Structure 1
Amino acid sequence: MNIAKVGLDLAKNVLQVHAVDSQGHIVVRKQLRRTDVLQYFATLEPCVIGMEACGSSHYWGHELAKLGHTVRLVAPQFVGLT
């Protein structure tokens, strides 16, 4: 799978993953339980992961960066704008 960018929506128990390739085509849309997130991202080639900046995003950002991914936190006021 050729994933270039991932949007990760952090929630309480289930996290949403939305991934696109280098041309912007959707390649993944799935839900992951918190216990499965690190295992899933460990199987991916390093890519850019964007998520809303919140309390738990710093934890997830550090853990995903340890796996080689580039993590970008987005200010809450800019999330969901089209």
Structure 2
Amino acid sequence: MMTSINMLAIDLAKGSFQVCAVTADGTVIYNRVLSRARLTALLAEHSACIAAMKACATSHHWGRVAQKHGHEVWLIPAAYVKPFVKRQKNDRADSEERPRGC
């Protein structure tokens, strides 16, 4: 990839996942919905970066998938994600609720 993506903020769900790619200065490169297969492919083809996701039942599985491809995984407890809520609750907004200063 031409741009330097520092973090993939991933909102996990059952069938589709919202992925927000962010540079080191906080600029959002893209924020899109991916299927399970496409998320696996993205983690495999993307250069190593931080993969941040809210800790939930499936986050450990996806964390291991990301680690297998060289990513640094951050599992964030829901209590720490809540302060970053900017607007209404939906998957697109949730994926942008990443820790600041990363």
1:48-59 equivalences under 5 Å are 48-59=50-61
**Corresponding residue of 1:41:** 43
Partner SS for 1:11 = coil
**Corresponding residue of 1:67:** 69
Within 1, Cα distance between the matches of 2:34 and 2:82? 20
Shift of 1:78: 1.7
Return the TM-score normalized by structure 1: 0.92
Partner SS for 2:5 = coil
Return the TM-score normalized by structure 2: 0.75
**Corresponding residue of 2:8:** 6
Tell me the percent identity: 33
Within 2, Cα distance between the matches of 1:69 and 1:28? 18
**Aligned residues between the structures:** 82
Moved over 6 A (4+): none
CA RMSD of aligned residues (A): 1.0
**Corresponding residue of 1:15:** 17
Q: 1:7-36 CA distances to partner (integer Å, 9 max, x unpaired)?
A: 100011110001111111111211101121
Partner SS for 2:83 = coil
Shift of 1:72: 0.5
**Corresponding residue of 2:26:** 24
Q: Could you list the runs of 5+ residues in structure 1 that have no partner in the other structure?
A: none
Q: Could you list the runs of 5+ residues in structure 2 that have no partner in the other structure?
A: 85-102
Relative to structure 1, the CA distance from residue 80 to residue 19 in structure 2 (aligned partners, 3 Å threshold; closer, same or farther) is farther
